[in-house]
């Protein structure tokens, strides 16, 4: 083989090796460490207008957008900021306790039960365990919008299916992530301050642990475990 | 949380149950004819565990408002205890001979016709000493459309019926009824063991059937919202909508089997030229007034 051909061969070999190295590196690259965002998306939106007006769908659509914005606020705090639920954060006293911040998203009556039911409403007990949460599914399969005669929307019912991988701070046991599933139905009330949670049924599962609670629903639908 | 839940439950029960009952009271065109009102000056505190008392008066007037030349053909007091999750439907024959607003006594159905439904509610309150907080007035002619819009209702017919006057033709047992059938069932007094006493009792059966339906379907909150839509189409709700919703939640907690369907006993007789019913309640009123449970 001439020297020229040998040089060309070596260059090609080097390029292939570099490409292979880069490909492997990219595949092994750790997920970008940044803050996850809440970005729920709506499925079916049902307009419940007693007068069956032609623009009911449009009104319901606007209400569903408002609902999604509200639920994004909720899930950002409840599920995607585990550091806020950590004991270190609580000890610092620098920020509003997350449970209190969460209560602000509920009506007065419902807010009173948030602390008791927080294990099913947020990652309250995983604040010290998780480094971050990476959502894999943020879906609101159904939103029902009640429309009054004057066009106002007093109540909205929304069902949420939220799934995520909780990345543990300590992965020495080889466990890469904790599977988080949150399924909930919220009865939302519209007021001067916007939407608030009037009643709810919620179930939170983190691997083998499960907590479920409800407010404003029959006893027979409630269960607790954690 | 339990006390607050009971509060919500209480309120929810009343409304949800009322919605179910009003389902048995009907509507096609919007209200005025069919409405739910709070008795003036009355107050209900579910957070304090107070029993809810609702009077339901139905008119068989063919046209116009429920109390326009129409008597009360359905007269009931619904009592719901939010703490014990139980209650009573108290049924009154329409010819019940009771004190009249202007003095003397007359059939309560005639009081509705001449003095109005609100006057009849006052008479019931005075007679029974039951602290009625709400009253619902309905018109039978609206009955069908509401039941139909709800998809019909499954009724436990207590005995076979074949009555050409009301159109009630049912076997004994569970029957899925459309609106017209439910109306016939609630009107039948000719082919019943005890005439008008049986008719009013059967109206109570229909109310419980509607509650059972609501309880089954509205467990899905999306469906409950749909029920509210139907109610809004047909009922003039002058009570706060918030209370209606809370009551709906509580209605989900009430097993219809825990509600007793009680017809006030009595005997038929004459008052002048009129055939009337002299009620013999015994201690029924006291027991129901006490905690809503007979």
| Proportion of chain B in helix, strand, coil states, percent, rounded to 5 | 40, 25, 30
| Nearest partner of B39 among B25, B20, B22, B56, judged by Cα | B56
| Sequence-ordered list of residues with C-beta below 8 angstroms from that of A162, at least 6 positions apart, any chain | A40, A75, A79, A135, A137, A138, A139, A180, A181, A182, A183, A184
The SS3 call for residue A97 is coil
The DSSP code sequence of A174-188 is: S---EEEEEEEEEEE
Query: Measured between beta carbons, which residues in chain B are less than 8 angstroms from residue A148?
Result: 232
Question: Could you tell me which chain B residue has the CA closest to the CA of A184?
Answer: B221
pLDDT reported for residue B65: 52
Alpha-carbon radius of gyration of chain B: 18
pLDDT reported for residue B234: 81
Is residue A185 less than 8 Å (CB to CB) from chain B? yes
Question: What is the Cα–Cα distance from B36 to B136, expressed in whole angstroms?
Answer: 4
Q: What is the mean pLDDT of chain B?
A: 84
pLDDT reported for residue A93: 80
CA atoms within 13 A on the CB side of A60: 24
Measured between CA atoms, how close is A171 to chain B, in angstroms? 38
pLDDT reported for residue B287: 96
| Nearest partner of B165 among B148, B146, B188, B185, judged by Cα | B188
- Which residue in B225, B242, B246 is closest to A48 by CB distance? B225
Question: Could you tell me which chain B residue has the CA closest to the CA of A221?
Answer: B219
CB-defined contacts A:B, below 8 A: 68
Is-contact B283 B115, C-beta < 8 A?
no
Is-contact A158 A140, C-beta < 8 A?
yes
Distances (CA, A) of A145 to A46, A148, B238, B246: 6, 10, 21, 17
Query: Measured between beta carbons, which residues in chain B are less than 8 angstroms from residue A157?
Result: 221-222, 224-225
β-pair type (B35-38, B236-237):
parallel
pLDDT tens digit string along B104-117?
999 999 999 888 88
Query: Measured between beta carbons, which residues in chain B are less than 8 angstroms from residue A160?
Result: none
Question: What is the Cα–Cα distance from B183 to B167, expressed in whole angstroms?
Answer: 9
Which pLDDT band, with edges at 50, 70 and 90, does B9 fall under? very low
pLDDT at B3 over 50: no
Q: Residue A217 and residue B249: Cβ atoms within 8 Å? A: yes
Bridge partner list, A179: A165
Is residue B252 less than 8 Å (CB to CB) from chain A? yes
Is residue B2 less than 8 Å (CB to CB) from chain A? no
Measured between CA atoms, how close is A213 to chain B, in angstroms? 12
Is-contact B233 A50, C-beta < 8 A?
yes
Question: What is the Cα–Cα distance from B187 to B163, expressed in whole angstroms?
Answer: 10
- Residue ranges of E strands in A12-51: 41-48
Query: Measured between beta carbons, which residues in chain A are less than 8 angstroms from residue B253?
Result: 218-220
Is-contact B22 B36, C-beta < 8 A?
yes
pLDDT at B90 over 90: yes
pLDDT at B202 over 80: yes
pLDDT at B10 over 60: no
pLDDT tens digit string along B26-61?
323 344 568 888 888 888 877 678 899 999 998 876
For an interface test with A, give the residue of B5, B242, B258 to mutate (most A CBs within 10 A): B5
What are the mean pLDDT values of chain A's consecutive 10-residue runs (226 residues total)?
A: 85 82 56 75 96 96 98 97 89 85 93 92 92 96 95 96 93 83 96 93 87 62 36
pLDDT tens digit string along A151-202?
999 999 999 999 999 999 887 777 788 999 999 999 999 998 999 999 999 9
| Sequence-ordered list of residues with C-beta below 8 angstroms from that of B76, at least 6 positions apart, any chain | B55, B56, B57, B89, B90, B91, B92, B200, B203, B204, B207
Query: Predicted ipTM?
Result: 0.79
């Amino acid at each position: 083989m001439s020297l020229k051909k040998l040089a060309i061969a070596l260059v090609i070999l080097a390029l292939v090796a570099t490409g292979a190295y880069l490909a492997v590196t990219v595949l092994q690259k750790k997920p970008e460490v940044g803050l996850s965002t809440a970005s729920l998306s709506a499925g079916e939106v049902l307009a419940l207008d007693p007068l069956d007006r032609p623009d009911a769908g449009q009104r319901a659509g606007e209400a569903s957008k408002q609902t999604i914005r509200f639920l994004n606020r909720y899930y950002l705090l409840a599920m995607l900021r585990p550091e806020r639920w950590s004991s270190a954060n609580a000890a610092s006293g620098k920020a509003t306790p997350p449970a209190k911040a969460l209560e602000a998203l509920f009506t007065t009556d419902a807010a009173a039960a948030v602390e008791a039911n927080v294990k099913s409403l947020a990652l309250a007990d995983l604040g010290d365990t998780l480094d971050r949460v990476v959502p894999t599914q943020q879906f609101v399969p159904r939103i029902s919008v009640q429309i009054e005669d004057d066009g106002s929307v007093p109540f909205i019912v929304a069902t949420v299916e939220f799934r995520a991988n909780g990345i543990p701070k300590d992965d020495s046991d080889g466990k890469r992530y904790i599977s988080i599933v949150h399924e909930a139905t919220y009865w939302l009330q519209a007021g001067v301050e916007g939407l608030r949670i009037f009643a709810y049924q919620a179930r939170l599962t983190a691997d083998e642990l499960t907590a479920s609670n409800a407010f404003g629903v029959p006893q027979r639908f409630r269960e607790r475990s954690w | 949380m339990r006390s607050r839940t009971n509060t919500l439950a209480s309120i929810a029960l009343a409304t949800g149950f009322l919605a179910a009952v009003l389902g048995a009271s009907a509507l096609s065109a919007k209200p005025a004819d069919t409405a739910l009102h709070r008795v003036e000056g009355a107050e209900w505190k579910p957070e304090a565990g107070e029993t809810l008392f609702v009077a339901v008066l139905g008119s068989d007037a063919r046209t116009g408002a429920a109390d326009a030349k129409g008597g009360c053909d359905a007269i009931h007091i619904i009592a719901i205890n939010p703490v014990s999750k139980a209650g009573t439907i108290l049924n009154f024959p329409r010819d019940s001979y009771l004190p009249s607003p202007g003095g003397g006594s007359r059939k309560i159905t005639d009081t509705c016709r001449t003095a109005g439904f609100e006057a009849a509610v006052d008479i019931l309150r005075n007679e029974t000493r039951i602290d009625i907080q709400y009253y619902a007035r309905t018109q039978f002619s609206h009955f069908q459309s509401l039941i139909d819009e709800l998809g019909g209702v499954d009724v436990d017919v207590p005995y076979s019926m074949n009555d050409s006057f009301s159109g009630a033709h049912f076997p004994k047992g569970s029957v899925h009824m459309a609106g017209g059938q439910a109306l016939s069932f609630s009107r039948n007094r000719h082919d019943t063991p005890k005439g008008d006493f049986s008719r009013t009792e059967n109206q109570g059966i229909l109310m419980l059937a509607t509650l059972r339906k609501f309880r089954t379907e509205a467990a899905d909150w999306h469906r409950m919202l749909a029920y509210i839509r139907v109610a809004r189409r047909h009922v003039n709700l002058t009570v706060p909508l918030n209370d209606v919703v809370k009551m709906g939640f509580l209605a989900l907690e009430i097993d219809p089997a825990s509600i007793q369907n009680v017809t006030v006993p009595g005997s038929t007789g004459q008052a002048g030229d009129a055939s009337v019913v002299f009620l013999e309640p015994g201690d029924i009123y006291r027991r129901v007034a006490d905690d809503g449970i007979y």
